[in-house]
Amino acid sequence: EIYKDAEEAIKDNPPTRLFQRAINGAIIACGYAEILLSKALADYGPDAQVGYPDTAYYLPVIRSLSGEEVTQLGQLQPILNRMRAQVKESEVTFEMARLAGETTAYAAEIIETVHYLRYGHRHVEPWTGFIKDPIMRKYGILLVDWTIPGEGVIVGKAKTSEDLGNIARELMSLNIKTFFCNEVCEQALEVKVKAGKENCQFLLGNFTQLVHAFSYNLRAAMAFGGIEPGLRDHHRDYQRRRIRAFVLHLGEIDDVQVAAHFAAIFLGFPVICDTELPEDHQVPGWYESHPDYETLVKYAMEVRGLEVEDIEVSEPLVIGSTQEEKVIAREGKDSKFKERVQLVLK
């Protein structure tokens, strides 16, 4: 049980305020999903075809965790009802907060599905929204075999765009796949972070588009881990063991975002916030505060169990296995990356 140590640490003084916020956020998310779904059913009818573009995994969060092959709009209402029913407002516990997180992931998937039904795939590079299967297959294998050693999900808004750029470039230099959601996307573009699939830096979008990071990881488990759809706990175990992801939340946090954080925790990903959190808003090893941007990435990686080793590299290039076989020129210098571990400089 991966939460056992945390449960033991908080048993005498559980952060019930934090858990209550997660529960409240899940209820709000379900309410919003209900409104959008009801309107879509009225506009399109229950037989309307739904799904994401270029994927064999239907609605991947739902497909992986409960096994349903959702193809029609009308199938979503009973799923939403079932997930809302598992959130018990009277049970303010760590376990219930995690279930609230799971419910929030489902609600976000449903909201995004309705958006895709109404508007289609409107994203223009470097924005991604839902990440299609060919990209997931090309880069997902590098994540699960640890060629890419880990994954960072950055949510919110950094104190400055320059701060966000520094965090993003540090993650890239460590060869960490990165997803961005909310204002950090605009900040990344402002400071010219090298976003795009080639650099494994994905600008998802805003609000519920965070679910596309979870979707990517869960599809990787089905594609490369051999985890069958509907084996919920097997998927969670695979996410914790193989994906090695963590969430960095920058800036203010509302209840729905807390619920989304617990969706990450439900899948085995710890959450590190840059805001000062009181003790009754933290869970050791899972939901922590670390305001120092200089050491934020290193701290998050250590919490996730990723070893960080400091080395000096005189040439200030962002390098990693995602740049294999690329030639990079800067001020008369060029570097070619050969194979997975050999770097030849001239």
State pLDDT tens for residues 247-259.
999 999 999 999 9
Position 2 in a domain = no
Grade residue 310 by pLDDT with cuts at 50, 70 and 90: low
Is residue 4's pLDDT more than 50?
yes
Is residue 60's pLDDT more than 60?
yes
- pLDDT for the residue 198: 86
* CATH number of the domain where residue 55 is located: 1.10.8.190
Average pLDDT for the chain: 91
Q: Are residues 63 and 137 in the same domain?
A: no
CA gap 45, 219 in Å, rounded: 29
- pLDDT for the residue 308: 62
Domain termination site, one of 72, 90, 119: 119
How many domains, in total, are found in the chain? 3
Q: Are residues 283 and 180 in the same domain?
A: yes
State mean pLDDT over 164-182: 96
* CATH number of the domain where residue 220 is located: 3.40.50.2030
Q: Are residues 144 and 241 in the same domain?
A: yes
Q: List pLDDT tens digits, range 116-153.
A: 999 998 888 889 999 999 999 999 998 889 888 999 99
Position 309 in a domain = no
Is residue 314's pLDDT more than 50?
no
Is residue 312's pLDDT more than 90?
no
Grade residue 280 by pLDDT with cuts at 50, 70 and 90: confident
Number of Cβ within a 10 Å radius of residue 3: 16
State mean pLDDT over 268-293: 97
- pLDDT for the residue 125: 85
Position 189 in a domain = yes
- pLDDT for the residue 317: 45
Q: Are residues 279 and 142 in the same domain?
A: yes
CA gap 185, 130 in Å, rounded: 15
Is residue 101's pLDDT more than 80?
yes
Q: List pLDDT tens digits, range 320-338.
A: 555 554 544 444 444 444 3
Position 68 in a domain = yes
Q: Are residues 104 and 149 in the same domain?
A: no
Position 125 in a domain = no
Position 52 in a domain = yes
Amino acid at 197: K
- pLDDT for the residue 40: 99
Is residue 217's pLDDT more than 90?
yes
Q: Are residues 286 and 319 in the same domain?
A: no
Angle of helix 255-266 relative to helix 16-44, nearest 10 degrees? Answer: 100
Query: Which domain range does residue 250 map to?
Result: 133-304
Position 64 in a domain = yes
CA gap 54, 40 in Å, rounded: 22
Domain termination site, one of 60, 94, 119: 119
Is residue 264's pLDDT more than 70?
yes
Angle of helix 94-119 relative to helix 255-266, nearest 10 degrees? Answer: 100
Q: Are residues 300 and 322 in the same domain?
A: no
Grade residue 339 by pLDDT with cuts at 50, 70 and 90: very low
Tell how strand 177-181 and strand 151-156 pair up.
Answer: parallel
Is residue 43's pLDDT more than 70?
yes
Q: Are residues 295 and 212 in the same domain?
A: yes
- pLDDT for the residue 338: 39
Q: Are residues 201 and 268 in the same domain?
A: yes
Q: What DSSP character marks residue 196?
A: B
DSSP codes joined into one string, 123-179: --TTB-SSPPHHHHHHHHHHHHTTSS--EEEEEE--SSHHHHHHHHHHHHHTT-EEE
Q: Are residues 296 and 216 in the same domain?
A: yes
Is residue 33's pLDDT more than 50?
yes
Position 128 in a domain = no
Q: Reply yes or no: is the peptide bond before residue 14 cis, omega within 30 of 0.
A: no
Q: Are residues 163 and 261 in the same domain?
A: yes
- pLDDT for the residue 96: 99
Q: What is the pTM of this model?
A: 0.89
> What are the contacts of 319-325 at 24+ separation with CB within 8 A?
319/173, 319/175, 319/343, 320/148, 320/172, 320/173, 320/174, 320/175, 321/142, 321/147, 321/148, 321/175, 322/139, 322/142, 322/148, 322/175, 322/198, 322/199, 322/200, 323/199
Q: List pLDDT tens digits, range 75-97.
A: 999 999 999 999 999 999 999 99
Q: Are residues 215 and 332 in the same domain?
A: no
- pLDDT for the residue 315: 45
Q: Cβ-count burial of 189 within 10 angstroms (0-12 exposed, 13-18 middle, 19+ buried)?
A: middle
- pLDDT for the residue 244: 94
